[in-house]
Structure formats: structure tokens, C-alpha cells
Amino acid sequence: MKNHRVHPVCHMRSGASTETAHSLLAEEPLSIRVQGNPYTVVMRTPGDEIAHVAGFCLGEGIADTMNDVGTLAFCDEDINVVTVTLTPERSQKVPEILDRRGFISQTSCGICGKELISDLRQAIPSVDAAPVTFSCVSRALDGLGDHQPLRDMTRACHAAALFDGDGTLLSVAEDVGRHNALDKAVGMLFLKNQLSGAHFLVLSSRISYEMVQKAARAGIAIIAAVSRPTALAVELAHDLNMTLCSLSREDGLFIYTHPERITA
């Protein structure tokens, strides 16, 4: 299944119109089944489905390491359905998550920010990381577009990229959903047991509390983004000992929490 499709477009200007074509970003449902049962359906851009689900399982607390996973595969060659089975030991540890009572990235109706932060704070341990230089983070942000061929083609997708402490790119993914892009980028390293090498995360989108949650579950303490964070993301990041920063329109970075990790 392609991650984009070419569609005819009418380009109208004053007094005239012409026919052209645009590459449009594909969006398809991905059904995730856990322990033989439907768990959730997410809308995503086709591609990297196994990595996507691996990152999703880590982010939601379904698995802490790949050793918790028995199998992770497509269902009968259908790339829109991925099935996950856990080891017996892991399934006994997370019954509430398997019942979706612990599906913490999906806010319940009526829950307030303080209640959500309290729940997440109890479910996710604080994270830490060594400082990284200002120039290293700035280069990664400025260069993110160089790793977004699908965005260049469609102008309609997000990206997430993981870097080591020296600014070397470890993984990058694009998707119509920013959460999906992050799950894919994390999952690529999680599948290979290389996630511990990731030092900071760069996002093409704003930083919402869900992105902070997923990064914390992956053990990543520094998030840099093109757009600003939400107030709830800042509150959660502060409590989880994480550093959030975004691009300044004028020059440099805005740093919202724990600025000591970004050094001159």
C-alpha cells in the first residue's frame, strides 16, 4: 500500500484555471490486536507498521522491553491489522492495561488536567539525561526537513526523529499523525533493543502531553519541536524531569522546563 496517491487538482487563478496533480498523503486505519482481542484502531500513513505497533506498545505500557512480547506480526498478510501477544508473565502484570483501563493516552470525557497529570505521574517514572549542546539541538531542528521526503511530496505529514548525544540521527519516521510518527521512530529502535542510545527527540509538530508521555516511556528526557508545547505538556514534563524546547521565530530556542540540560 502506497503512502501517497496522485490526485488531479484544478488550479484556479484570476481569469483562468489549469489542471495539475498533487501527491496526497495516504491515511488508512490500522487495527491493533493484543492477546487475540481488538485493542484499538488508529488512523495512520501506511508504512513501518511493525515498528509503529512496537512503539505504541511501549508508549502505552503494554510492554516495557521486547522480551515482554511473544509475537508481533501482521494478521494473515493484512498490513492493516497487526497482532501482538505477550509472554504469560507480562500479561499477568498488566491486566488493567489489556482491559484498556490503562489506555492513558486517550483522555476520558470529563477528566481534568490535574487528574490526568496525577494519573500519568503515577504510571510513568521520572527520566534523566546528560546535557546536550544548544548547537546540537539547533542543528537537528534545522535539519529535520532534510529527512522528510514525504512532506516535500505531500505537504501534509509530521515527522519524529531520535538522535544520540552527538546529534547523530538514529531513526526518523513520517506519518499523517504526529503520535504515529513518534511511535514509529521509537519502535524502530525498540525492535532492535537500541532505544537506550537515543538522547533527544525532535518533532515537526507541537508538543502535547501525549508526546511527553510517549517520550518518557521511551526514556527520552529532552524534546525539541518546531512548534510550542501545550500548558499540560509543560506541567507533565516538569513533573517527569524532562526538558522541552521549541524554535523561536526570531532566533534560538525557547526552553520551558529544566533548561540546565541545554548548554552553551
* Residues 3, 224: Cα–Cα separation, whole Å: 26
Active-site residue, selected from the candidate residues 10, 109, 157, 245: 109
What phi and psi, each to the nearest 5 degrees, are found at residue 38? -60, 130
Amino acid at 131: P
Q: Show the DSSP H helices in 99-177 as ranges.
A: 113-123, 134-142, 149-154
Q: Is 109 part of the annotated catalytic residue set?
A: yes
Q: Helix 209-217 crosses helix 113-123 at what angle (to 10 degrees)?
A: 10
Cell of 68: 515482554
What angle, 0 to 180 degrees and rounded to 10, lies between the N-to-C axes of helices 209-217 and 178-190?
0
Cell numbers representing residue 186 in the block: 521509537
Residue 98's contacts (CB-CB under 8 Å, 6 or more residues apart) are 34, 35, 37, 39, 62, 91
Q: 17 by DSSP, 3-state: which? A: strand
Helix (H), strand (E) at residue 234: helix 231-239
Active-site residue set:
109
